[in-house]
Amino acid sequence: MRKPKTPSEDTEEARVFRAAVRDVTPLATPAGLPGAARPGPARRRAPIVESASLGDVVAADDAPGAAAPSAADPLSYRRPGVRDQTLRHLRRGRYPVEDELDLHGLSQSAARDQLAEFIASSSHAGLRCVRIVHGKGYRSGARGPVLKIGVNTWLRRHADVLAFTSARVIDGGTGAVYVLLR
């Protein structure tokens, strides 16, 4: 039920505007066309539910697997049960990216918290594919790509992540990943 408007809220301009747009209906824009509205802001504010499952800040030698990835190394991961074809489609950008998170310039702990919050809220919102921009780590010096190594580790630990792979060059290349969510 609507609350009654106070006299200050119901100005003459507002009445004229409502009368002018009374019969207007919004145009439907198919999601795949250029100019289609992108869903929501890149950083959602939801309670951090999964940050504990992502673990602590990762040192360069703490990443799972043989060696820590360099700036040019592509990332790729899929949970057991996820088909090769699904990962191939993800790598080729066949899933539409529904939201994005840019971690440039954040500290490792801030990036971990933002990532946990973003994945949890994206999954809760029913999003299927998101892009995480971590950068290539060129300004990290001898430490290597700190955020790239962290993102690689944290995404593997997150329960809502089915697979991830480095993005196509047009979407950030080895400085970003496509993430497929449950």
In a domain, 22, yes or no: no
Helix (H) or strand (E) holding 20: helix 12-20
How many CB atoms are closer than 10 A to CB 3?
6
> Per the domain annotation, does 37 fall within a domain?
no
Give 119's DSSP letter: H
Residue at 46 is within a domain: no
- The C-alpha atoms of residue 93 and residue 101 are separated, in whole angstroms, by 17
Does the residue 21 lie in any domain?
A: no
153 in a structural domain: yes
68 assigned to some structural domain: no
In-domain check, residue 29: no
CATH (domain of 177): 3.30.1370.110
Cα–Cα separations (whole angstroms), residue 124 to 12, 21, 120, 170 = 42, 35, 6, 28
Below-70 pLDDT ranges, the chain = 1-10, 29-68, 70-71
Distance of alpha carbon 115 from alpha carbon 148, whole angstroms: 12
Domain count, the chain: 1
Q: Has residue 151 been placed in a domain?
A: yes
Sheet strand arrangement including 76-78 = 76-78, 161-166, 176-181, 129-133, 99-102
Look at residue 38 in the predicted model and tell me its pLDDT: 53
Residue 165's pLDDT is what? Answer: 95
Closest by CA to 77, choosing from 168, 155, 160, is 155
Contact 90, 178 (CB under 8 A): yes
List the domain range (segments joined by +) for residue 94: 73-182
What is the model's pLDDT at position 25? 78
